[in-house]
A and B are shown apart, each in its own frame.
Chain A
Amino acid sequence: MQQQLSHILESGSKLSVELLLFAGLISLILLISFLKKNEKARNVIWLVSLIVTVVSFFALTQTFVSDALLFNGLIQNSSFSHFGKSLVLISTAIILLHIKVMKYDLEGEYYVLILGIAFSLSFLLMSSHLLSMFVAMEAVSLSSYMLVAFRQKAHNLEAGIKYLIFGATSTALMLYGASFLYGITGSLSFAGIQQGLTSGTSDGNMVQIALLMTLAGPLFKLSAAPFHIWAPDVYEATPTPLISYLAIAPKIGGLYIAFRLLETVPYDHTIILSIIILLSILIGNFSALTQKNAKRMMGYSGIAQSGFLLVGLLGLEITGLRASGFYMAVYIFMTSGAFLLLDMVEKQTKSFQFSDMSGLSQKFVFFGIIGLIFMVGLTGLPPTAGFTAKFLVFTNVWEQYSGGGHKILLWVLLFGLINTAISIYYYFKIPYFMFLKTPPENKSENSLNMTQLSLLTILAFAVLALFFAPQWVQNQLF
C-alpha cells in the first residue's frame, strides 16, 4: 500500500502540463461564477485561458520525456504523446486568437469547454490502457457535443443531437469491442493485451473483429469512414472558430489512439486499414465536389484528409507514424487558416456560399493570395507544406509496397494520387470565385481588419515555411 501510494505521488509530479491546465480550468470556472456578466469580464476570461495555454506550452517544452509507465501502467508519456500535446496546445492558442481577432463575444463557458478538450486530449495522448483511453475520449466527446449545441438555435441543436447520437453509437461499439479484447486476453492495458495475444492461442477472427469494433472510437474522432456521417452537418451549423478547433484537435488524439490500438494487436492490418482509407478519401472527395457551401465543403474535405492522415499508419513503421505526425502538424495550420479565411470572407459577404465570394480578391489582392496558399496546401501542391506531408505519407506506402507488401497498397497509392488531382477542383473553387468572377454591382465597401489579416498571414507563413524547412517539425518528432 505504502509503495503504491508513493508510486502514485511520484507519477503525479510528472503531470505538470495537465495539472496546469486543470488549475486553469478551475480558475476559469471560479472567474465565471464571481465576475459580472459583461464584455470586460469575458475579455478577462479569454485572456486567462490564453495565458494558461501559453504557460502550459512552455511547461511542456521543459518536461522530460521518458517512456516509463505512470499510475500503474495507465498512462505513458512517450515522445509521440509529447509531440501531440504540443500540437494540441498550439491549435488551442490559434483558436483563442481566432476568436479574438474575429471579435466573437463568446460566453465564459466556451473557454471552459475548449480548455477541457485540451486537458482531456493530453490524457488521451498518453493513455496506454483501455480504461484511461475510454475516460479521456469520453471527456473529449462530451465537451465537443456541447460546443456544437451551445448556440441554442434550432440548427445548432439539430447538429448537436446528430453528433451526440453518432458519437454515442461509436462509443458503444468501441466499448463492446474493448470488452471482447479484455475477455480474450484478460488484461486492459495495451501491453498486457499484446502479451496475451502473442502468447495465447486465441482465435484470429475474433481478435480482428474486436479490434475493428474498438477502432470505432478513434475513427469517429478522425471523422473517417464509416463513422464520418456527422461531419458535414456539424461543420455547417457550428460557429467557425469552434468547428475549426473540433476539426483539428480531436484528430490528433484519434490518430494516436488508432496507432496504439493497431500496434497492440499483432496482426496484419493492411487490408482493413486500406479499405478505411480508400472509403474515406473517396466519400470525402466525391461528396465535396458538388457542394455549394464552403463550410460544408470543408466538412467533406476533413473526411478525405483523415483518410490521408491514416495512410501513414499503414505498415505501422515508425517512419510512417512520423510522416502522419508531420501531416497532422501541417494540417493544423492549413485547416485553421482555411477556416479563418472563410470567416473573414463571411464578414465581407455575410454568407458561406461560393457564389457570394465573387470578385472579392479583385478588391483585396493580398487577401486573395494568402487564401490561395491555404487552398494549394490543402490540395497538396508545392510550394506548400501540404505537398511535403502528402509526399512523406505516400513515400511510406511506396516503401511498404516495394518491400513486398500487399497488392492493395498500390491501390491506396494510385487512389491517393488521383484523388489529390480531383481535390484541386473543389479546393480551387474558392480562389476561382474570388479572383476570376466579376463582383456584383451593389457591394457595400468594407475594408479588411489588419489584425485579422496578420493572423492569417502568420498561419500562411507557417504553411509555406514548413515546405522549405520541414526539419522544424521533424526535429520535434521523436
Chain B
Amino acid sequence: METLETIKNLTMTQWSFYAVSVLTLFGALGTILSKNPIHSVIYLIMTFFSLSAHYVLLNAQFLAAVNIVVYAGAIMVLFLFVVMFLNIKDEAPELDNNKIVIGASIVGGTIGVILVAAIRLTESQKIDPSTYQIKTGFIETLGQLLYSKYLLPFELVSVLFLIAMSGAVMLGRKEKGERNF
C-alpha cells in the first residue's frame, strides 16, 4: 500500500526521470544482448538519446545538446557506417560462450550489488530549490569556467588531441606492398 501511495505522490519530474531511466536501461541491455551488431548500434543510439534526457532533467542543457550532436549524431552514425561497411553477417559468437557470459554477469552483478548496498546506506543531501543557481548548466557559465578556473586541463586536452591525431595518422597510413581491404 505504501508503495502505491508513493507512486501516486510522484511529481512530474520524478515521473519523467523514471520513464527515461527505464528507456536507458532497456537500450543498454539491448546493446549487449542483441546478436546482430546493427541492432546493437541502434540500441546504443537510443541509450544516448535517453541519457541526453537525463542531462536536461539535471539542468545541463548544453551537455544534452553536445551529447546528441557528437555521440548520437556523429560518432554513432560513423559506427553504424563502419559496421555496415564491414558487412558483419556472422552473429556475435561471444554470447554463445557461456563461460564468458556467466563470468561477466557475476563480476558486473557483484559490483552492482555492492554499489546499491553502499548507496542505500548513504544519506544524500537534498538541494534547496530556493538557493539553487538556475544558470549552473548554461553554456555561458561553462565557458567562463573553462577559460578561467579550468584553463589548464582545457589546454592539456588540446595537446592530448594533437598526440592522438599524429598517432591516428600513423596508424591509418598504408605501408608499401601491404594488402589493402
| Contact partner, A123, options B150, B156, B162, Cβ 8 Å | B156
Stretch binding the partner chain, chosen from B65-73, B92-100, B113-121:
B113-121
Quick one: CB contact mask for A131-152 with B, threshold 8 Å, 1 for yes?
Answer: 1100110110011001001101
Contact A109 B123 (CB under 8 A): no
- Give the size range of B's interface with the partner: 20 to 34
Closest chain A residue to B151, Cβ basis: A8
Evaluate contact between B156 and A203: CB separation under 8 angstroms: no
One of A116, A136, A142, A203 near B123 (C-beta < 8 A): A203
How far in angstroms is the closest Cβ of chain A from B135?
17
Is B133 in contact with chain A by the CB < 8 A criterion? Answer: no
Chain A residue with Cβ nearest B164? A142
Q: Which of B148, B152, B160, B169 contacts A139 (CB 8 A)?
A: B160
Q: How far is the CA of A113 from the CA of B168 in the complex (A)?
A: 11
Assess A146 versus B171: contact at CB under 8 Å? Given A203-B122, A206-B122: yes
Which residues of chain A come closer than 8 Å to B159, judged between CB atoms? 22, 25, 116, 119-120, 139
B118 with A205: CB separation less than 8 A:
yes
Main secondary structure of the interface of B (DSSP, over half): helix
**Whole-angstrom distance between the alpha carbons of A209 and B120 in the complex?**
13
Contact (Cβ within 8 A) A135 B170: no
Given the contacts A1-B148, A203-B123, A112 and B163 also touching, CB distance less than 8 Å: yes
Are B167 and A113 within 8 A (Cβ)? yes
A209 touches B122 (CB 8 A): no
Query: Chain B residues with Cβ under 8 A from A113's Cβ?
Result: 163, 166-167
Cα–Cα, bound, A255→B160 (Å)? 22
Specify which of B121, B156, B175 is in contact with A152 (CB 8 Å cutoff): B175
A74, A150, A184: the one contacting B152 at CB < 8 Å is A74
Task: Answer whether residue B126 sits at the interface, using C-beta atoms and an 8 A cutoff.
Answer: no
Cβ of B157 < 8 Å from any Cβ of A?
Answer: yes
Chain A neighbourhood of B118, CB < 8 A: 203, 205-206, 209
- CB of B122 within 8 A of CB of A75, answer no
Chain A binding surface, main DSSP class? helix
Q: Which residues of B contact A203 (CB under 8 A)?
A: 118, 121-123
Smallest distance from the beta carbon of B165 to chain A beta carbons, Å?
9
In whole Å, how far is B128's beta carbon from the nearest beta carbon of chain A? 14
Which chain A residues border B114 with CB–CB below 8 Å? 209
The docked-state distance in angstroms from the alpha carbon of A190 to that of B35 is 44
Minimum CB–CB distance from B94 to chain A (whole Å) comes to: 13
Does A29 have its Cβ within 8 Å of any Cβ on chain B?
yes
Give the chain A neighbours of B169 by CB distance below 8 A.
Answer: 109
A142 is contacted by which of B119, B122, B160 (Cβ under 8 Å)? B160
Contact: A131 with B150, CB < 8 Å? yes
Q: What is the 8 Å Cβ interface bit string for chain A, positions 113-132, against chain B (1 contact, 0 not)?
A: 10010011001000000011
B144, closest chain A residue (CB): A1
Most buried by A among B115, B149, B156, B169: B156
**Whole-angstrom distance between the Cβ of B34 and the nearest chain A Cβ:** 20
Contact B151 A135 (CB under 8 A): no
Q: Is the CB of A71 within 8 A of B163?
A: no
**A11-32 to B contact mask, C-beta < 8 Å, 1/0:** 1000000000010010001001
**Chain B residue with the shortest CB-CB distance to A112:** B166
Q: When chains A and B are docked, how far (Å) is the Cα of A366 from the Cα of B151?
A: 54
Counting CB contacts under 8 A, is A4 at the interface? yes
B108-146 interface mask toward A, CB cutoff 8 Å, 1 = contact, 0 = none?
000000110111011100000000000000000000000
Measured in the bound complex, the distance between the Cα atoms of B162 and A207 in whole Å is 36
- Cross-chain contact B152 with A143 (CB below 8 angstroms): no
Contacts of A8 in B (CB 8 A): 148, 151
Q: How far is the CB of A321 from chain B (nearest CB, A)?
A: 25
Cβ of A25 to closest chain B Cβ, rounded Å: 7
- Please indicate the chain B residues that have their CB under 8 angstroms from the CB of A201 in the complex: 123
CB neighbours (8 Å) of A132 from chain B are 152-153, 156
Q: How far apart are B32's CB and chain A's nearest CB, in angstroms?
A: 14
Q: In the complex, what's the smallest C-beta–C-beta distance from B173 to chain A, in angstroms?
A: 9
State A139–B166 Cα separation when bound (angstroms).
Answer: 13
A73 CB to nearest B CB, Å = 9
Whether B156 and A139, one on each chain, are in contact in the complex, defined by CB atoms closer than 8 angstroms, is: yes
> Bound complex: CA of A146 vs CA of B159, how far in Å?
15
Q: Are B152 and A107 in contact (CB under 8 A)?
A: no
Residue of B157, B162, B168 ringed by the most chain A CB atoms within 10 A: B162
Cβ-defined contact, A150 with B163, below 8 A: no
Interface pair A152/B153, CB less than 8 Å apart: no
A131 nearest in chain B by CB position: B153
Q: Given A139-B163, A143-B163, A152-B175, A4–B148 Cβ distance below 8 Å? A: yes
- Could you mark each residue 461-472 of chain A with 1 if its beta carbon is under 8 Å from any beta carbon of chain B, else 0? 000000000000
List 22 interface pairs A-B (beta carbons < 8 Å), by A numbering.
A8-B148, A8-B151, A25-B163, A29-B166, A74-B152, A112-B163, A112-B166, A116-B159, A131-B150, A132-B156, A135-B157, A135-B160, A142-B160, A142-B167, A143-B167, A146-B164, A152-B171, A152-B178, A201-B123, A205-B118, A206-B118, A209-B114
Beyond A116-B159, A135-B153, A209-B114, 7 additional contacts (C-beta under 8 Å) are A1-B148, A8-B151, A71-B152, A119-B159, A120-B160, A135-B157, A205-B117
Which 3 residue pairs of A and B lie closest in terms of their CB atoms, listed nearest first?
A146-B167, A116-B163, A109-B170
